[in-house]
Amino acid sequence: MFLVSILLGLELSFIYQVLLLVRGIVPHARWFRDVEDVIYWIFCSIQAFRLLFRENDGSIRWYFLAGIALGMIFCYEILGKPLKKFLLWVRMKRTTKDLGKYEKISKEKKQME
């Protein structure tokens, strides 16, 4: 049960990392991110309940919660840190591109005056 809960933690954390990647590449409105988070946490709750119900007749054990947390931490250490670096790089590229557009518009505006 402990090993299965670690795998569940890995799965849930991986899904959230993918969600963060999508958010970093495609800008979202605040309300849309909130809806995504609610859907994600409902999904997490259902998955945890299904595992508890199937494997442990619905009894919550400390090692189940510890296994999920351990799996999530492990996935964050493996995927989360490189993903943060990648998202910072994407944001820097986007900001640089936007800044270039702004400078071009400013030059054209000055020339028109």
* Span 100-111, pLDDT tens digits: 665 565 666 666
Q: Stretch 66-90: mean pLDDT, rounded?
A: 84
Q: Stretch 75-86: mean pLDDT, rounded?
A: 82
* Single-letter code of the amino acid located at 69: A
Q: Stretch 93-97: mean pLDDT, rounded?
A: 67
User: Is 64 within 8 Å of 52 (Cβ atoms)?
Assistant: yes
Q: What is the pLDDT of residue 83?
A: 79
User: Is 65 within 8 Å of 48 (Cβ atoms)?
Assistant: no
CB within 8 Å of 56: residues ≥ 6 apart: 1, 64
Q: Using a pLDDT cut of 90, give the percent of the chain over it.
A: 19
Who wins on pLDDT, 99 or 36?
36
Read off the pTM: 0.68
Q: What is the pLDDT of residue 51?
A: 87
